Chain A
Amino acid sequence: EAAVTQSPRNKVAVTGGKVTLSCNQTNNHNNMYWYRQDTGHGLRLIHYSYGAGSTEKGDIPDGYKASRPSQENFSLILELATPSQTSVYFCASGDPGASGNTLYFGEGSRLIVV
């Protein structure tokens, strides 16, 4: 079973502060993704990566940076957190294959920016 671990699971940050959400996967998947989930919007893609050293912008990248220093780790960075970034963030990993790009999700990180 694919394992994706996120940290922290819960975070309260102050406006203007820096927040780093970390994600680790142990299944050697090439692709990793960061989504946020808000009521009424579903899951929206922020950044993704095809492998170590690569990051790509998703559909809502503004205000976020991403870092993929290794195959296993993918971080989401909020340099200057704002209240509008209060949300639940999900990391996922996956690999395209014969059965499609099945994603394996972490448990989510709940971020509140005050």
Chain B
Amino acid sequence: GQQVQQSPASLVLQEGENAELQCNFSSTATQLQWFYQSPGGSLVSLLSNPSGTKHTGRLTSTTVTKERRSSLHISSSQTTDSGTYLCAIEYGSSGNKLIFGIGTLLSVKP
């Protein structure tokens, strides 16, 4: 089946450092989204970026479609950024279904 691989599995930073999260997928994606899951479990969409580069606040996502990879850069990390970051892919034949990676657990220390 379709695969979504995320790395690293976990990451520990000091407040103010930058984070780089990676997402690799096994087939051409028609849609790619990054989600944040809080330590309490709630999920929110961060941004949608099937190709190219997108910015929102301190987040920058770069997706290289032909190389089947995407990255999420978090600048000047804050303790409130701690949580799990999930990459999700929609494939052309999947009928608006998103397939999720397992995520990267980010911990930002004060």
Contacts and interface: CB of A to CB of B under 8 A. Distances in A.
B30 to A, nearest CB: 8
Given A100-B90, A101-B31, A42 B101 contact: yes
A49 to B, nearest CB: 11
B96 A96 contact: yes
A103 B86 CA distance: 13
A102 B102 contact: no
A101 B96 contact: yes
Interface string A36-49: 00001111110010
A100 B50 CA distance: 9
Interface string A93-109: 01010011111110110
A42 B103 contact: yes
Interface in B53-110: 86, 88, 90, 95-103
B26 to A, nearest CB: 14
For chain A, what secondary structure do more than half of its interface residues adopt (helix, strand, loop), or is it mixed?
strand
Given A48-B97, A58-B97, A100-B33, A40 B102 contact: yes
A7 to B, nearest CB: 15
A103 to B, nearest CB: 6
17 contacts: A33-B98, A35-B100, A41-B102, A42-B103, A43-B86, A44-B100, A45-B98, A48-B97, A88-B41, A99-B48, A100-B33, A101-B98, A102-B33, A103-B35, A103-B88, A107-B41, A108-B41
